[in-house]
Chain A
Amino acid sequence: MSAVDTGDTAWMLASTALVLLMTIGLGIFYAGLVRAKSTLNTFMMCISAMAIAGVTWALIGYSLAFDGDGALLGGLGHVALNDVGFAPRGEGTIPHLLFMAFQGTFCIITVALVSGAVVERMRFGAWMVFAALWSIGVYAVLAHWGFGGGWLFQEGAVDFAGGVPVEMGSGFAALAAALVVGARKDYGRQALLPHNAVYVLLGAGILWFGWFGFNGGSGLGANQAGVLAFVNTMLTPACALLTWFVLDLIRGRRVTAVGAATAIIVGCVLITPAGGFISPGWAMVLGFLGALPCYAVIVWRPRTRVDETLDVLAAHGIAGFTGILFLGLVAQAGWNGEGIDGLLYGDAGQFGSQALAAAAAPAYAFIATFVLLKVIGAVMPLRATEHDEAVGMDVVYHGEEAYASGEGAILVTPESDGELLVADPN
């Protein structure tokens, strides 16, 4: 068993906190994109992922993802954090406990990502049931396949920071969720616009910041792969932003702010699978080229009847798919130090393995999510009523408003019981 390295541990502690912050950033990003009457509910879907996935991960998800190298699923040896202590895991240099927490923050944000497909009409209770089951049945399984020692891992597919479970997992699950839950009642009839573009930019900025821990920490230490991924996390989104500006200019003769926020996310996702495997130069190329298919899907999707509301498929599914294939083309052993070469550097087999991951992850995420939601839907209603949808999710499910003015509000005290208190003139 290897020894704990203090430098690695320090960076991973920071990285874990950075990744957790991403879920808050995502909440702000998503909240800005919906209508004002669903602001809090949208944010709360992300917050609830912290509550739910945080618990399911410790209880069972971590064990299914990272205990042993079963082809389809891990074992139950780490259920309820059994045997997860201060000694490193395998060849690692950080405490096993910290590794578990770092991976747990990934599970949390992935669950939160899926909510983008169903905001503004899914019942909050049904969402929480779905989140709990999805974090175990879909996320933990894909995490096991991608980097827990499962069959994709054994086939030689590499995934630096979560292209399989996080990006393709959330993106294709989102498509299935949007199909099962159905469109918002006003979708396609009224313009449903982002209510606060500043939140959208702010959230994207927090996500980008947190992504330095997400990708930079996925080397599992303060090491060469981590530094490479960290630097690439700066470069790829910058290039994706530039591409997006140009595409916006061509399409509408203006550079849009919500588009820019989207480009930041797309860039970060593109580099997620490839971060520690490809050179900074190729990372920039990935940013420039990878933005193209994502932009195309974002423009095309609203013309369909599929109300995949916040475009998780385009920003995460398609970008993750592109990134994981691109790494199979241009990975260089000289940069990653792990002997991973892509097709252009002489290893066609690596591209084959990457293609396998790019086919298997979307298929599993889509089918498993579709079935899971159909089952939950058979037990409880998934959707809010039309009336509740019109009123807005915030008042209906949380009894709060994001922008309450207090005008006309009557204080309920034990004495008043909600009756208007009129001062006694005597």
Chain B
Amino acid sequence: MKLVIGIVRPEKANDVLEALYRAEVRGVSLSRVEGHGGELERVETYRGTTVKMGLSDKVRFEVAVSDSFAEATVNALCEGGRTGEVGDGKIFVVPLEQAVRIRTGESAEAAVTPVASR
């Protein structure tokens, strides 16, 4: 099993969800995060105070999948999240030791397989 973490632009989150859905990846968590990935800083001015905003809003997807789904998930994140400009984000794939479905107590592969697809 793999945990695929994708950090993308908030305005691309819907496109990523759509791409994941098309790749038949169903179990997804997402959270709003702030980060910096080398993109140009925005300058903002509030009355006399001028600041460079070093952090941009991003959305972090976390998708736990069986090994055979890892590549499709990465592809979906890439495809949905890409604009071609600096700041599109990153994808990290890490090995996943254990997964448990709380409702049933199922573990491992069974826990990351969506109910509807069985």
Contacts and interface: CB of A to CB of B under 8 A. Distances in A.
> A and B: real partners?
yes
Interface of A: 186, 189-190, 387, 390-391, 395, 399-401, 404-412, 418
B45 A400 contact: yes
B53 A409 contact: yes
A407 B34 contact: yes
Contacts of A186: 14
B55 interface: yes
Interface of B: 9, 11, 14, 34, 36, 41-46, 49-55, 83, 85
Contact of B44 (A189, A190, A390, A404): A404
Contacts of A400: 44-46
Nearest to A392: B11
B6 to A, nearest CB: 18
A40 B110 CA distance: 47
A408 B53 contact: yes
Contact of B52 (A189, A390, A391, A418): A418
B45 to A, nearest CB: 5
A409 B51 contact: yes
Given A408-B54, A409-B54, A399 B42 contact: yes
B32 to A, nearest CB: 11
Top 4 closest A-B pairs, CB basis?
A: A408-B55, A409-B51, A390-B11, A408-B54
Given A390-B9, A408-B55, A410-B54, A399 B14 contact: no
Given A390-B11, A407-B34, A408-B34, A395 B54 contact: no
A393 to B, nearest CB: 13
Given A190-B14, A390-B11, A408-B34, A401 B52 contact: no
Contact of A399 (B11, B34, B44, B85): B44
